[in-house]
Amino acid sequence: MRQLLALVLLLQAFHGGLAHATERYLEVLVTQPYLEMHSGPGRGYPVVYVVGRDELVTVLYSRTDWYKVRAPRGQEGWVRREDLARTTLASGEPAPIPPYPDFSSHRWEAGAGYGVYNRQNLVTAYGDFGITNSIDVEFVVQQALGTLDNRYITSIGLRHTFVPEWKWFSPTAGIGTAFQYIEDKAPPAPLQKSNQMAYVSLGARGFITRRFMWRADWRHYVVFNDQNVNEELEEWKIGLAVFF
């Protein structure tokens, strides 16, 4: 009985999915003399169909800078972003093709990279949210892999970009708090397995292309522990990021 119920629910969900699949798509009007449709989402793919002026095309979905469209007679193909942006809605308004996010005022960012943490190799990944154009909250997860131990470090902090308008190179500075967990590999065992930390950072970022950017960061950590003197660590890293 329970299985039957599960099946019914599954079918219902499937049906729901199907109903969802018949959602409405955006339709745009070709206003240029023609609109070229390529066989694939890339600059090298040949043009397989051409839609004439004043014809409506259906925009199915996008992949990177290409849009899959359906011509009035059913042919499907890929159209470049720049070409689709020149079409209009039936009402005459320009087609709502989202432009590239503006680098100097982007909101979200995610990236990964390589670094050195306390003379250990470091794998780092981070997410970043811009509160304003110049102040970001960054959340970092990293793993340092050394010969004596492995460390897992998470941190949350604020970062200030001094001149967000500078595209290719813009210095940054930040502060934050972090937590490290030490996984022992070879003796001697660490005195403490986990520590609270605080850091200051200096770095830079720059635009590469479209939605790509690079980031470099140097951090100085103060490790709070049970001893009389706090330990101090250094870290640097470089990474690639995508912004939204």
Partner 1 sequence: MENRLSSVLLAAALLSGCGWFHRGEKAPPQVVAEEPPGEPSVIEPQVNRREVKTPKIKAKDFEIGGYFGALSIQDFGVNPLYGVRAAYHVSEDIFLEGYLARSKAGTTSLEDVFPDITVVSESGRRFTYYDLDVGYNVLPGEIFLGRGRAFNSALYVTVGLGDVKFADKDQFALNFGVGERLLITDWLAMHLDVRNHVFETDLTGRTKNVDNIEATLGLTAFY
Q: Choose among 226, 203, 227, 228: nearest CA to 213.
A: 203
**The tokens of 242 are what?**
């995508």
Under the criterion CB under 8 A, does residue 30 sit at the interface with partner 1? Answer: no
Q: Choose among 198, 236, 205: nearest CA to 219.
A: 236
Q: Which is nearer to partner 1, 163 or 193 (CB)?
A: 193
Under rule CB under 8 A, which residues in 155-184 are in contact with partner 1?
183
Under the criterion CB under 8 A, does residue 31 sit at the interface with partner 1? Answer: no
Under the criterion CB under 8 A, does residue 242 sit at the interface with partner 1? Answer: yes
Under the criterion CB under 8 A, does residue 210 sit at the interface with partner 1? Answer: yes
Under the criterion CB under 8 A, does residue 63 sit at the interface with partner 1? Answer: yes
Phi, psi (degrees; rounded to nearest 5) at 26? -75, 135
Q: Which is nearer to partner 1, 100 or 162 (CB)?
A: 100
Under the criterion CB under 8 A, does residue 209 sit at the interface with partner 1? Answer: yes
Contacts of 124 by beta carbon, 8 Å cutoff, 6+ apart:
112, 113, 114, 115, 140, 141, 142, 237, 239
Q: Which amino acid is at 128?
A: D
Indicate which single residue of 31, 36, 49, 65 sits in contact with partner 1 (rule: CB under 8 A): 65
Tell me the C-alpha to C-alpha distance, in Å, between residue 41 and each of 96, 108, 175.
20, 25, 42
Q: Tell me which residues touch partner 1 (CB under 8 A).
A: 23-26, 39-45, 59-68, 89, 91, 96-98, 112, 114, 120-121, 123, 125, 143, 145, 150, 183, 185, 209-212, 240, 242
